[in-house]
Amino acid sequence: MPTSTRPDLLLPADPGQRALARELYALVARLPIISPHGHVDPALLAEDQPFGDPAQLLIVPDHYLTRMLLSQGVPPSELGVPSRDGTPVETDGRRIWRRFAEHWHLFRGTPSRLWLEQTFTEVFGVDTRLSPATADEVYDALAAKLAEPDFRPRALFERFNIEVLATTESPLDDLGRHAKLAADGWGGPGGRVVTTFRPDNVVDLEFEDWSANVDRLGEITGEDTGTYAGYLAALRARRAAFIDAGATSSDHGHRTARTLDLGADAATLFDRARRGRAEPGDAEAFAAHMLLEFARMSLDDGLVMQLHPGAVRNHNRWLYARHGRDVGGDIPQVTEYVHALAPLLDAYGNDPRLRVVLYTLDEDTFTRELAPLAGGYAALLLGAPWWFLDSPEVLRRFRETVTETAGFYNTAGFVDDTRAFCSIPVRHDVARRIDAGFLARLVAEHRLPMDEAAETIVDLAYRLPKQVYKFGEGQQ
């Protein structure tokens, strides 16, 4: 779904490069969207109910927005973010919307502004510029659209031209919504909506209720998760169930990129943790070890591994205490890959049957670590800039820093990683535009002929993610 109102959005300002970029962008503007990783609630598409009011849809769940207002002293409760400590929370959509519009200038120069504006104009056809004065007008126009059947999730999914969308579930999820999707012809292997296996809540010993989660994992699978062997068997069983629900990849969100082969000690450490006697360092060591276990499972069942390291979760402790997880309180930290991944790479790094997609929150590793690793190991690919880095400037810097050592073909295509369903088309559009601009510069500087740039941009937008994440026929 290309941009109608700002055809040259994000294309290079130099007229020569812009003309080339336009040509390249035109090749991908209307290509279907491959969305191999994200956090859209599958219930949305399984149930296909109308969305809520504009504030509940676009502001309340978007921590990019609420953290920016928090940074200027507006508490999340005033924006409707649910509290878990009894703090009263604004529930009036219009009042939330007005408060947000008062602070709209804070978002100048941010991707959030771009995503929202493009969502207004391209998805909802609302061209009124948001401001404190127009807040009600925009709200009403959006609300009117949301009441129409064309704006239900499945209708939008089709209009967005999404070919495949992966959601993310924990092994404890019963995959009921995916079963419903499969029953409706939308899900299952090769379907339009698939799941992703994300086992953090049964792998991270410090996860809230880890041991209870492992108990539950045993109940679901009928395995004895009181033992390490049973625990592994249970994980294998859930992976099989996820694959039956269409999953082609797993996802692992650890504090660091550390990997480790604990060997026989893994069982000892697991037992200790199950008895509530985990020692300092056990959580990190066990998580590191489990990446090797999951790599071994991937060699068997073919799931692509995604690694998302480097977030300090709940850094803002006041925010966590009041509003819980995933509301904008996480902060990136220095992330080391070269030594951290060595045990995994020693074991399986040169095996092309394994496929590991690396993400980062630490831009400083692009040239020094990630590009040399991905350009030198068969198993590694680089994921798109992630989270705080999912923005026009960083998407451009990603290409500028990574391509010379890893090329284009050790990258895995754009990943929107979003909870915000309505922003999916604009996010992919932004990535396509930035790639068009980067390739246009290579052409303008006589570093790449136009015909190869044209083939490359289609690969980046469509073919590569489809192949890397094993969507479509002929995939192993």
Tell me the closest approach of the beta carbon of residue 371 to a copy of itself, in angstroms: 7
Distance CA 375, CA 117 (A): 37
Give Cα 117 to chain centroid, integer Å: 21
DSSP string, 381-438: EEPPP-GGG-SHHHHHHHHHHHHHHH-STTB-------S-GGGHHHHHHHHHHHHHHH
Which tokens belong to 188? 């299952």
Q: Does 110 bind a copy of itself (CB under 8 A)?
A: yes
Tell me the closest approach of the beta carbon of residue 211 to a copy of itself, in angstroms: 27
| Interface pick for a copy of itself out of 50, 84, 109, 300 (rule CB under 8 A) | 109
Nearer to a copy of itself, 238 or 399 (CB): 399
Tokens 């015909």 correspond to 451
Q: Does 52 bind a copy of itself (CB under 8 A)?
A: no
Binders in 296-315 for a copy of itself, by CB under 8 A:
312, 315
Mapped onto helix, strand or coil, the DSSP state of residue 380 is strand
| Interface pick for a copy of itself out of 29, 338, 450, 458 (rule CB under 8 A) | 338
Tell me the closest approach of the beta carbon of residue 384 to a copy of itself, in angstroms: 15
Binders in 314-333 for a copy of itself, by CB under 8 A:
315-319, 328-329, 331-333
| Interface pick for a copy of itself out of 336, 458, 463, 470 (rule CB under 8 A) | 336
Q: DSSP character for 169?
A: B
Nearer to a copy of itself, 142 or 380 (CB): 380
Binders in 63-82 for a copy of itself, by CB under 8 A:
67-68, 70-73
Q: What is the chain's percent helix, strand, coil content, to nearest 5?
A: 50, 5, 45
Instruction: Provide the terminal-to-terminal Cα distance of the chain, rounded to the nearest Å.
Output: 30
User: What one-letter code names the amino acid at 397?
Assistant: R
Tell me the closest approach of the beta carbon of residue 259 to a copy of itself, in angstroms: 14
Rg, the chain, Cα only: 22
Q: Does 132 bind a copy of itself (CB under 8 A)?
A: no
Q: Does 10 bind a copy of itself (CB under 8 A)?
A: yes
Are the C-beta atoms of residues 237 and 223 closer than 8 Å to each other?
Answer: yes
Q: Does 388 bind a copy of itself (CB under 8 A)?
A: yes
Which residues are within 8 A (CB) of 219 and not within 5 positions of it... i.e. 6 or more apart? none
Nearer to a copy of itself, 64 or 270 (CB): 64
Tell me the closest approach of the beta carbon of residue 34 to a copy of itself, in angstroms: 20
Binders in 409-468 for a copy of itself, by CB under 8 A:
409-410, 441-442, 444-449, 452, 455-456
Q: Total number of residues binding a copy of itself (CB under 8 A)?
A: 92
Are the C-beta atoms of residues 434 and 392 closer than 8 Å to each other?
Answer: yes
Nearer to a copy of itself, 71 or 268 (CB): 71
Q: Does 32 bind a copy of itself (CB under 8 A)?
A: no
Are the C-beta atoms of residues 80 and 57 closer than 8 Å to each other?
Answer: no
Are the C-beta atoms of residues 89 and 80 closer than 8 Å to each other?
Answer: yes
Q: By C-alpha distance, which of 396, 438, 389 is closest to 417?
A: 389
Mapped onto helix, strand or coil, the DSSP state of residue 341 is coil
Nearer to a copy of itself, 3 or 225 (CB): 3
Distance CA 200, CA 255 (A): 11
| Interface pick for a copy of itself out of 172, 299, 342, 450 (rule CB under 8 A) | 342
Binders in 367-386 for a copy of itself, by CB under 8 A:
367-369, 371-378, 380
Are the C-beta atoms of residues 432 and 461 closer than 8 Å to each other?
Answer: yes
Span of 43-51, 89-97, 182-190, 388-396 interacting with a copy of itself by CB under 8 A: 388-396
Q: Does 29 bind a copy of itself (CB under 8 A)?
A: no
Tell me the closest approach of the beta carbon of residue 340 to a copy of itself, in angstroms: 11
Tell me the closest approach of the beta carbon of residue 366 to a copy of itself, in angstroms: 9
Binders in 344-363 for a copy of itself, by CB under 8 A:
345-346, 349-350, 352, 361-363
Are the C-beta atoms of residues 298 and 241 closer than 8 Å to each other?
Answer: no
| H-helix segments, 103-152 | 111-118, 135-146
Nearer to a copy of itself, 159 or 447 (CB): 447
